[in-house]
């Protein structure tokens, strides 16, 4: 009897040991219809295999009970699954933090995107990217590109460039802009072959243009002087800006609204790097600008009257025959600024300083102002009425100074909102007349004179002042007076 009792006790102990034996638990769980309790027993022994299997079972069956138990023993993956399963009403931030702290890259990326603190965002992005998580690597590259930290972005773009077209495009663009045109072209083509539309456009531009120094700008070909009273040359300073300049050039050629105007554009010139020193806050004025003195050699050779310089970023503006645009500026901005070349003023409220500069002048084709007895200049009103009889309407240009400006139309024109697209026929005729009067607008010659004079380069300054004075000689005014249909 005593022997039988000992045998039963031994069998019980052996059975108990077998039930806790990890390989056996996993085998039993694999065969059990309800394996969660067996996997939990194995998970408590620290088995990562059992814990992952239990996560999969719990996720498939929406059994949050087991996920919470796994979180309690420090399983970060379970915390992330619970976070994903939580409804919108749940406070799941702690679960996300637990998962991120446990090196779950998806959670780390979520933590990064959820943070408004730049340092915190970058830190979590780095943690996730260093684990090889591709979405985090792409996000970290974008973060560095956004902050103009191109060298920090380079290794992460390299890691993802062969995986998707967008990364290949960004990597190719970065390589090209940094001087590695062979590898840059390779990745741009790779992105284009995968269907990336902007990469296709860039590879097309590379086929059509090559960067050159200003000393290699040739004479080009302009139409007759009568057809080209304003000769406009676009200059690009990078791959991105030549793409933008080419698009502006092509849109201008197709713009039927401007066809009556004697304005000519030649194909853009793509300049080699560092030909034109430019800055988004040129001379501390809060707008885009460049040292244009290097353009003098090209202006002598090609004989353009106005220049458009495309740069990466900055506020668009016109200054004495030179227009500055960045790559984000739409074609409508280009047309708006082109009208400034011919003396048109903005019809939106100007700053106080700008309003004091423009309000009351007599040489603005689209505005008149309150005078002592009537509108001033009254000759401008008479011109409007002769071309297109109609009313006189308030403009917002001078609101900051309390004076009143007026325009010849009730429409919201492209001089008030550039993207309105409305260029009244009267404005086109006024524009044409401004172009025909070479005393009414300033070509680039004045800008070059001022630049050289400012730098005490008297000989060059004298050349451009004489060129400007010769251009401005009276005698080329239109006398047409036919009313518009």
pLDDT digits (tens, 9 = 90+) for 120-136: 899 989 988 998 999 99
Alpha-carbon gap, residue 445 to 462, rounded angstroms: 10
Domain contains 15: yes
What is the three-class DSSP state of 265?
A: strand
To 10 degrees, the CA torsion angle through 70, 75, 79, 80? Answer: -130
Domain contains 476: no
Q: pLDDT tens digits for 379-394?
A: 999 999 999 999 999 9
Domain contains 193: yes
Domain contains 94: yes
**Tell me, what's the pLDDT at 12?**
39
Q: Tokens at residue 479, please?
A: 């006398």
**Tell me, what's the pLDDT at 66?**
73
Q: Are 6 and 86 contained in the same domain? A: yes
pLDDT band at 485 (very low <50, low <70, confident <90, very high): very low
Q: Where is pLDDT greater, at 39 or 125?
A: 125
Domain contains 469: no
Q: Are 7 and 86 contained in the same domain? A: yes
DSSP character string of 81-94: HHHHH--TTS--HH
Given 102, 130, 146, which residue is the final one in a domain? 102
Range of the domain at 45: 2-102
**Tell me, what's the pLDDT at 94?**
67
Q: pLDDT tens digits for 208-267?
A: 999 999 999 999 889 888 899 999 999 998 999 999 999 999 999 999 999 999 999 999
pLDDT average, residue stretch 34-63:
81
The CA–CA distances, whole Å, from 142 to 154, 167, 170, 290, 292 equal 10, 9, 9, 28, 33
- Taking CA 331 as the corner, what is the angle to CA 326 and CA 337, rounded to the nearest 5 degrees? 70
Q: Are 87 and 165 contained in the same domain? A: no
Given 182, 198, 214, which residue is the final one in a domain? 198
The domain total for the chain is 2
Domain contains 167: yes
**How many helices (H) and strands (E) are present in the chain, helices listed first?**
22, 11
Domain contains 392: no
**Tell me, what's the pLDDT at 74?**
64
Given 174, 198, 222, which residue is the final one in a domain? 198
> The whole model's pTM is what?
0.76
**Tell me, what's the pLDDT at 479?**
31
**Could you tell me whether strands 230-236 and 306-311 are parallel, antiparallel, or unpaired per DSSP bridges?**
parallel
Q: Where is pLDDT greater, at 23 or 406?
A: 406
**Tell me, what's the pLDDT at 76?**
67
- Helix spans in 89-133 (H): 93-101, 105-114, 118-129
Q: Is the pLDDT of residue 165 over 90?
A: yes
Q: Mean pLDDT check: name the lowest of 69-83, 325-339, 361-375.
A: 69-83
Q: Where is pLDDT greater, at 11 or 63?
A: 63
Domain contains 308: no
């Amino acid at each position: 009897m005593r022997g039988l009792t000992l045998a039963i006790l031994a069998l019980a102990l052996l059975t108990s040991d077998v039930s806790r034996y990890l390989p056996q638990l996993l085998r039993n769980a694999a065969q059990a219809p309800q394996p969660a309790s067996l996997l939990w027993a194995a998970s408590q022994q620290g088995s990562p295999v059992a814990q992952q299997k239990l996560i999969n079972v719990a996720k498939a069956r929406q059994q949050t009970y087991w996920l919470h138990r796994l979180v309690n023993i420090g399983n970060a993956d379970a915390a992330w699954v619970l976070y994903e399963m939580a409804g919108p009403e749940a406070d799941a931030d702690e679960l996300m933090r637990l998962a991120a702290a446990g090196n779950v890259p998806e959670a780390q990326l979520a933590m990064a995107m959820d943070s408004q603190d730049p340092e915190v965002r970058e830190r979590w992005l780095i943690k996730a990217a260093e684990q090889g998580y591709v979405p985090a690597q792409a996000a970290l590259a974008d973060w560095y590109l956004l902050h103009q930290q191109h060298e920090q972005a380079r290794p992460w773009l390299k890691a993802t460039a062969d995986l998707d077209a967008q990364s290949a495009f960004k990597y190719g663009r970065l390589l090209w802009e940094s001087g590695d045109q062979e590898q840059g072209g390779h990745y741009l083509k790779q992105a284009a072959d995968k269907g990336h539309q902007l990469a296709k456009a860039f590879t097309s531009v590379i086929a059509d243009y090559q960067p050159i120094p200003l000393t290699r700008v040739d004479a080009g070909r302009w139409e007759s002087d009568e057809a080209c009273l304003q000769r406009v040359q676009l200059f690009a300073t990078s791959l991105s800006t030549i793409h933008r300049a080419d698009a502006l050039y092509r849109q201008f050629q197709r713009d039927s609204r401007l066809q009556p105007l004697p304005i000519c554009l030649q194909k853009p010139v793509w300049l080699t790097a560092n030909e034109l020193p430019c800055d988004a806050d040129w001379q501390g004025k809060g707008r885009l600008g460049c040292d244009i003195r290097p353009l003098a050699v090209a202006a002598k050779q090609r004989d353009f009257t106005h220049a458009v310089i495309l740069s990466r970023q900055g506020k668009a503006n016109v200054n004495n025959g030179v227009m500055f645009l960045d790559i984000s500026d739409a074609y409508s901005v280009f047309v708006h600024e082109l009208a400034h070349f011919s003396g048109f003023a903005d019809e939106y409220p100007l700053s106080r300083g700008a309003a004091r500069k423009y309000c009351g002048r007599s040489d603005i084709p689209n505005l008149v102002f309150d005078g002592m007895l009537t509108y001033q200049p009254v000759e401008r009103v008479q011109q409007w009425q002769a071309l297109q009889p109609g009313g006189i309407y308030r403009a917002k240009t001078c609101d900051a100074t309390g004076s009143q400006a007026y325009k010849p139309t009730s429409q919201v024109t492209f001089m008030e909102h550039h993207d309105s697209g409305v260029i009244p026929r009267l404005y086109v005729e006024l524009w044409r007349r401004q172009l025909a009067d070479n005393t009414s607008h300033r070509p680039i010659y004045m800008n070059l004179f001022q630049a050289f004079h400012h730098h005490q380069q008297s000989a060059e300054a004298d050349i451009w002042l004489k060129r400007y004075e010769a251009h401005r000689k009276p005698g080329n005014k239109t006398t047409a007076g036919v009313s518009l249909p």
